[in-house]
Structure 1
């Protein structure tokens, strides 16, 4: 509400854009940009040293909006491409669009080079070069606006993989105030988004600290107990250290009724069937699995593969491939199948409570212990027999219950703070998106907004003039 609108507006002629300020113009990308494609390479061509290279993976997952190889570590390609593939070199202010996306929301993702250092566009990318480099920073915000992204999403083709082509980008509509006004808008957004990004970064740091705190609380409770005055003794295990004197220390196999995995077989997916739990379904911050998000398999495959060991309520499911040691506790009585990448652990309830075992598996002591059992000869995994050898520190059942209650209370409070921080980040990201869209479409007039300091827009445009 603190921003004013322009005095007069006109119909842009673009359905998804609506009205724009009366003195603004419209155009197509093909008139304002030139286009090239990235290097025809694969991951095998990437090196640790050479000429930095931006591939579609970086555009999607790491360096959205802008990239600087001095700040952002990039994989490289051989210097021989400098002589053979000049057309794929980027220059200050150029844009790199990913030409494919696994979801519709990723269509139109891009990054802008903000450095004079030699950088290549890599595989699955489209290079979009502004003919007027002085407009580069304004274009960056325009491409990041919801309005432009909506236009791209309406144009892409695909079902499982969505493709953005040069033809789609060339046909793209853009809207343009005068150059001086573009620079004022870009400077305003540099200033305002930097403030929002700083607040987001602070919340992300808080979430990281809360995760470390949660880990420390769990680790201390399940290896040292809750009584700071309890007599301690050497556990005899290097990575476990001292434990309370009255606790037992034994191999995991001693406290289990069963431990096992299914045959190394990938069943076919079905639309509606039995949930198939894979490593990606095991969550760090929750003690249960969301079966609705799991792959579904037929009841026939469920019966066939669960004949060796059938997972059920009260079990702990652990990843033994990929994110080794990640675990979830099963607190529902539903039928489900655990993939061969995980192991089902059935606690002996006369010795250990399943939920206590779940918390123990999240402790630093256990994670260090399991590292000693990883088989690096088979792409990093832990076998069932190796897992049985890992040691566990064990209080009495009564003390396990007290520790569980304590951890649930402490973790609930920490998670609540983390959830609020995550919600705050979501709101700030929405604010950032809305502010960019409002400024670059002329819904708000920022030309006279409180004396803004020169920002990236001035720097980028100034350096462009020097080229």
Structure 2
């Protein structure tokens, strides 16, 4: 925090708050318990949800819909449900993100969140920034062995620092402007990350369908969506280039006395299998799954078919594990295709678009093995596959370095944002003399 707040002056006099997380506050500020500032109402799930809006219905506010990760559902307001207003502060009550505050919009609140209703005269944006400030305390004091929950007593009992209303407004205006600047920088970095991902995908898709030689003779693939491919490449269903295509366990594995790795889609990210936090299954369950073909061999490709569809990873050597039914095991015929090339082909646009056309389900998206067997690909000779893989992986590594740098910058900016909010609403910096820039000055700062 020191670097973030160093350019701002401090207040002239401070008093000890007597609270560990808060430390000192300006001598003219006062303290008030949260329960005397806001009341919280836990959401409740409607009995019936509708896919489409009609008169009299309200959006159903799930966490995914608020984050833009899922389409809104709709429900009728009935007694006992919690109706949220635009920009009303909400707290995630249950789950891995419990203790996080979000701004709501008009709608009916899900059971995993609670809404804050102000019962004390406080500047609303200042209160929102206070909520952001106490998130670490809410997370630290979450309860529950499996699924974390907000500690209601801690939420209501936490003591908040308050200046007079006019100073609250000044602090809120300062934070509105400064956080908007930081958010603008974050957005630019996120746009860069998306651009790099698009470039990475373009490199893969072009290399595995057109090759590396721009002057190679081409032929019509016979498929409109594929276009021309190198004349000496073969076009075939992917299944004809493989020894076997099967999926994982269709039973619930025994987890008691677990000692063998049980991999599911949640353990795969960006082509890498995370063996650190995976589930463990019993010896009996493991042997059954091995016997029924759920243990991949080194070089096999895992392909996700449920939920997040199309994620891939190559099975490493010297690690034994079995897989869940959410993963398809694709075993290449090494006389026809190498694992690394097939993995890139499965990640390419030409395959992903075919896969998407076969996906079923809205709530839980699924791809059947039968439909994966209908996917087409293009295959160069083995020696050319090896050259393509070497070229593509080199290019991807370069883009990954740039992506990692941009993501690190995003994290630093987020930390800076959080630190600035905390410093302002706890009185570690004095912004009473801050003046909002003119429109011209603001335009200059935001365009930098």
State the alpha-carbon separation in 1 of the partners of residues 7 and 325 from structure 2: 57
Tell me if the contact between 2:28 and 2:163 (Cα under 8 Å) persists in the aligned partners.
yes
Q: CA deviation at 1:33?
A: 2.8
Superimposed CA distance per residue, residues 245-281 of structure 1 (whole angstroms, 9 cap, x where no aligned partner)? 0111122222222222244112022575222121222
Q: What's the counterpart of residue 148 of structure 2?
A: 162
Judged with a 3 Å threshold, the aligned counterparts in structure 2 of structure 1 residues 342 and 151 are, in CA distance, closer, same or farther, namely: closer
Matches within 5 A, 1:244-283: 244-270=230-256, 273-283=259-269
Correspondence list, 1:32-431, <5 A: 32-38=37-43, 40-42=44-46, 44-45=48-49, 48-49=52-53, 50-53=56-59, 55=61, 57=63, 62=67, 75-78=73-76, 81=78, 84=79, 88-91=82-85, 94-98=88-92, 100-103=93-96, 106-112=97-103, 119-132=107-120, 135-145=123-133, 148-164=134-150, 167-270=153-256, 273-283=259-269, 285-286=270-271, 288-309=272-293, 310-374=295-359, 381-431=366-416
Q: How high is the TM-score relative to the length of structure 1?
A: 0.83
CA change 1:166–1:377 in 2 (3 A) is closer
Deviation digits for residues 177-201 of structure 1 (CA, Å, limit 9, x no counterpart)? 1111111111111111001101111
3-state DSSP of counterpart to 1:408 = helix
Q: C-alpha distance in 2, partners of 1:119/1:219?
A: 42
**Residue deviations 1:148-204, cap 9 Å, x none?**
234434544322223336554332211101111111111111111001101111111
Structure 1 Cα separation of the partners of residues 119 and 437 of structure 2: 27
| Aligned residue pairs, count | 431
CA distance in 2, matches of 1:225, 1:163: 52
Change (3 A) 1:46 1:7: farther
Deviations 1:346-370 (A, max 9, x none): 1111111110000000111112333
* Partners of 1:186 and 1:31 in 2: CA distance: 21
Comparing 380-389 with 178-187, greater Cα deviation is found at 380-389
Distance 2:73 2:360 in 1: 28
Determine if contact 1:52/1:74 at 8 Å carries over to the other structure. Answer: no
Offset from partner CA, 1:13-62 (integer Å, 9 cap, x none): 22221111111100112322345444x43373455324544635259x62
Greater Cα offset, 375-384 or 296-305: 375-384
Shift of 1:302: 2.0
Cα offset, 1:316, TM superposition: 0.8
SS in 2 for 1:269: coil
Q: Using a 3 Å threshold, how does the CA distance of structure 1 residues 413 and 189 change in structure 2: closer, same or farther?
A: same
Q: Which moved more, 1:238-247 or 1:173-182?
A: 238-247
Aligned to 1:68: none
Match of 2:443 in 1: none
In the TM superposition, what is the alpha-carbon distance from 1:300 to its structure 2 partner?
Answer: 2.6
Measured in 1, the distance between the counterparts of 2:40 and 2:310 equals 47
What is the CA–CA distance in structure 1 between the aligned matches of 2:73 and 2:239, rounded to whole Å? 44
Secondary structure of 2:21's partner?
coil
